[in-house]
Amino acid sequence: LCCRKFTYNLKLVSATMEGLSSSNPKGYLATPGPDRNGEHMMGTTIMAVEFKGGVVVAADSRTSTGSYVANRVSDKLSKVHEKIYCLRSGSAADTQAVADMVAYYLDMHSVEVDSPPLVKTAANLFKMTTYNNKDRLLASIICAGWDEKKGGQVYSIPLGGSIVRQPFAIGGSGSTYIFGHCDASFKEGMDQKECEAFVSKAISHAMSRDGSSGGVIRMAIITKDGVERKYIPGDKLPFMKDD
């Protein structure tokens, strides 16, 4: 009788452990909660606008891993040369790798030609890298900057590796909420201050609607004089302001 009881208890314990491992593969002591083991994604809102003397680029600061906010103050404005920046959306790892590669090639190119690279050159490097690896990358890029040949320029390089120059470009998961607002608010010939207001209001609207966008707004104004960085904290977003 004692042997039978002991065998029965072992079977019961074994069945219980199997149930635990199938429902909780990390083990009994694993802490339940949001998924923290997925790929870091730049579910985001990014935006760039041309004006007469340069460009304004801006983005929110939320980086997510599934439903978990991995970083609420990340910097999605990546410098690839002195007056050329890229805005990244998609997989954080993929876009960082692509930006690092383009920055490396631009440095070599500028040494070879003994002058700063053109914005179009940087955009084409992004296009070639993403197109040639389109089956392995999840990367959507906006490349913007200033050069002596064409002034301020904005190029959109969406998933798949096409390239389009636009007076303004938006991207990321939050952009789907603000296409109508941007089409209605954009005006040809805006000056720097108007572009800053346009960009900050559009991104703050996207952040209020998109669960994958949030945090603060990081902005950069790129002109012939260099790059000026600006920061709008989360409690000072111009959402729903009429001024």
pLDDT in tens, 91-107: 889 999 999 999 999 99
The span from the CA of 2 to the CA of 36, in Å, is 46
Which of 28-42, 81-95, 131-145 has the weakest average pLDDT? 28-42
* Average of per-residue pLDDT values in the chain: 85
Half-sphere exposure (Cβ direction) of 18: Cα atoms closer than 13 Å:
6
The span from the CA of 85 to the CA of 123, in Å, is 10
- Between 38 and 160, the higher pLDDT residue: 160
- Between 243 and 158, the higher pLDDT residue: 158
User: Tens digits of per-residue pLDDT, 39-52?
Assistant: 566 578 999 999 99
**In this predicted structure, what is the pLDDT of residue 138?**
92
User: Do the bridges between strand 164-165 and strand 139-147 make them parallel or antiparallel, or are there none, so unpaired?
Assistant: unpaired
**In this predicted structure, what is the pLDDT of residue 163?**
97
Distance of CA 184 to the CA centre of its chain: 24
Q: Which amino acid is at 110?
A: S
The pLDDT > 70 percentage for the chain reads 81
Q: Which of 44, 45, 130, 223 is catalytic?
A: 44
All residues at 6 or more sequence positions from 114 whose CB lies less than 8 Å from its CB, including other chains: none
For the beta carbon of residue 207, count every other beta carbon within 10 angstroms. 26
With H, G, I as helix, E, B as strand and everything else as coil, classify residue 107. helix
Q: What is the dihedral of CA 89, 54, 204, 228, to 10 degrees?
A: 90
> Is 223 a catalytic site residue?
no
